[in-house]
Amino acid sequence: MRDQSTSQASGPLAGRRIVEFAGIGPGPFACMMLADMGAEVVTLDRIGAKKNLKAVAVRGRKVVELDLKDKAAIAQVLDLLDSADALIEGFRPGVMERLGLGPDAVMARNPKLVYGRMTGWGQDGPLAQAAGHDINYISVTGALAAIGPKDKPVPPLNLVGDFGGGALYLVVGVLAALLEASKSGKGQVVDAAMCDGAASLMSMFFDMAAMGRWTEQRESNFLDGGAHFYGVYECGCGNFISIGSIEPQFYALLRQHAGLTDAAFEAQMDRKAWPVLRQKLTAVFKSKTRAEWCKIMEGTDICFAPILTMAEAPKHPHNTARGIFIERHGVTQPAPAPRFSRTPSAIREAEMAEIGEIMSAWKAAR
């Protein structure tokens, strides 16, 4: 695994300028993606923040420390935003307005600016001013209630709210607004709320529920661990594997390679049979180690994969061949995604900078 750092801008967003107001979670993750794709991201952080420039979440940025309670600093920020393409902030609604940096004030000076706002509850609504975290945002959208075993829901890390429903929707919204601004010459506010995004991610399940193909009881559906042919199994060594043999032809291969000759397995889609079939399959997978099952099933159309830890994942042959993980400053981390054929993304070094020198460079390039 080699270090892929560079000081050169690369990627489809090269030349775009984004000002980030430092935060935690989805905002920094979104800006990491935009920086990987070539945008010049300037992060405005509080004085003495002691930002770790080697951290994954701040890779590719120029970090400026300043006091946003100081009027002179606010004036500098407004000058900087005059030359920016987009702004990203993750404060509670009203904070930027009180600083004198709300959309009306900023976009009056730079009408083409895309103003990205990342919150949990959104810019309005009865919960807009309430504190919250990923687990709360996915709770009210139906997502958390659908994940986990029968006895209780289980938080799926903070992938669904913070990063899936938050950061990725913010990135999509900002890119769409930048594309539209290039035609109209007018920016707009992108209100990216984690509750909105998490609800959007549930679209397929709401659709299946409406068709009577999904129940609200966990572990009773074919994608939530209820079906014996789509789930996680422990092997004889204590490690785990996953199978997703939904389609009949894939299920037939599962039966063939796992030696499932019992006629009971012919009732693949009989929900009443699933609990018993899961017990039978549990015993089968415990008869061999994960390594043995990999030799039998990996690379087939069974839809099989070993469940790897974060330490194991970078060493998997597929991940190694594609360079899915890279090493930077001695830290193993995911490489930029997605991939571009002509303007590849790259990780640039983060660095401390002065707002004055950035403004001078941006104005000179206008």
Q: Is residue 58 part of a domain?
A: yes
Do you find a cis peptide bond into 338, omega within 30 degrees of 0? yes
Tokens describing residue 264: 């009971």
Neighbours of 269 (CB within 10 A): 12
Residues 14 and 159 grouped into a single domain? yes
One-letter identity of residue 30:
A
CA distances 255 to 249, 252, 258, 273, Å, are 10, 5, 5, 16
* Rounded-to-integer distance, Cα 87 and Cα 78, Å: 11
The pLDDT score that the predictor gives to residue 219 is 96
Q: Which pair of tokens denotes residue 173?
A: 């919204």
- Domain hosting 265: range is 240-306
Query: Does some domain include residue 227?
Result: no
**b (16+ CB within 10 A) / e for 109-141:** ebebbbbbbbbbbbeeeebeeeebebbbbbbeb
- Among residues of the chain, what percentage have pLDDT more than 90? 93
Quick: pLDDT tens for 38-79. 999 999 999 988 778 888 989 999 999 999 999 999 999 999
Considering the domain architecture, whether residues 160 and 296 belong to the same structural domain is answered as no
The CATH number of residue 294's host domain is 3.30.1540.10
Confidence of residue 13 (pLDDT cuts 50, 70, 90): very high
Q: 335 and 191: one domain?
A: yes
Number of domains present in the structure of the chain: 2
Tell me, what's the pLDDT at 1?
Answer: 55
> Contact, 72 vs 101, CB < 8 A?
no
- What is the separation of C-alpha 238 from the centre of its chain, rounded to a whole number of angstroms? 29
> Does residue 72 sit within a domain?
yes
Residues 51, 142 within the same domain: yes
Q: Which of 259, 279, 306 is the last residue of a domain?
A: 306
- 3-class SS letters over 46-105: CCCCCCCCCCHHHCCEEEEECCCCCHHHHHHHHHHHCCCCEEEECCCCCHHHHCCCCHHH
User: What single DSSP character describes residue 233?
Assistant: E
Position 82 pLDDT exceeds 50: yes
Query: What is the pLDDT at residue 365?
Result: 80
Beta-strand ranges (E) seen in the chain are: 5-6, 17-21, 40-45, 61-65, 86-89, 114-119, 189-193, 230-234, 240-244, 304-306, 325-328, 331-334, 347-348, 351-352
pLDDT digits (tens, 9 = 90+) for 276-313: 999 999 999 999 999 999 999 999 999 999 999 999 99
pTM above 0.85, yes or no: yes
Q: Where does residue 308 fall: left (phi above 0), alpha (psi -120 to 50 degrees), or beta otherwise?
A: beta
Reply yes or no on whether the pLDDT at 2 is more than 50: no
Same domain, 279 and 341: no
Tell me whether residue 140 is in a domain: yes
**224 part of a folded domain:** no
Burial of 297 (0-12, 13-18, 19+ CB in 10 A): buried
Residue 133 falls in the annotated catalytic set = yes
CA distance 33 to 191: 18
The domain that contains 79 carries what CATH number?
A: 3.40.50.10540
Cα distance between residue 167 and residue 244, in whole Å: 28
Check: CB of residue 298 under 8 Å from CB of residue 253: no
Assigned domain for 228 exists? no
At residue 185's C-alpha, the angle toward residues 182 and 189, to 5°, is 90
**Whether residue 135 is found in the same domain as residue 255:** no
How much is the mean pLDDT over the chain? 95
Q: Within a domain: residue 279?
A: yes
Q: Do 10 and 105 belong to one domain?
A: yes
| Residue 148, helix vs strand vs coil | coil
Report the distance separating Cα 315 and Cα 336, nearest Å.
18
Same domain? For 296 and 336 the reply is no
Tell me what the mean pLDDT of segment 350-359 comes to.
94
Active-site pick, 45, 85, 134, 162: 162
With 0-12 / 13-18 / 19 or more C-beta atoms within 10 angstroms meaning exposed / middle / buried, residue 191 is middle
Report residue 3's pLDDT band, with 50, 70 and 90 as the boundaries.
Answer: very low
Q: Which residues neighbour 146 within 8 Å (Cβ) at sequence distance 6 or greater?
A: 153, 202, 205, 216, 218, 224
Give the bridge partners for 347, in sequence order: 5
CA 37 to CA 336: how far, in whole Å? 8
Instruction: Tell me the average pLDDT across 95-118.
Output: 98
* 134-185 per-position pLDDT tens digit: 999 999 999 999 999 999 999 999 999 999 999 999 999 999 999 999 999 9
Among 79, 82, 133, 329, the one annotated catalytic: 133
Within its chain, how far is the Cα of 226 from the centroid?
A: 26
Are residues 106 and 28 both part of a single domain?
A: yes
Output the furthest CA–CA distance in the chain (Å, rounded): 78
One domain for residues 110 and 65: yes
| pLDDT score at 8 | 66
pLDDT score of 6? 54
- Note the pLDDT of residue 9: 74
Residues 189 and 94 in one domain: yes
DSSP for 238-264? S-EEEEE--SHHHHHHHHHHHT---GG
Residue 10 pLDDT exceeds 90: no
Query: Given this model, what pLDDT does residue 51 score?
Result: 78
Confidence tier at 321 by pLDDT (50, 70, 90): very high
> Beta strand 240-244 with 304-306: parallel, antiparallel or unpaired?
antiparallel
Same domain, 248 and 185: no
Q: Say what the pLDDT of residue 209 is.
A: 97
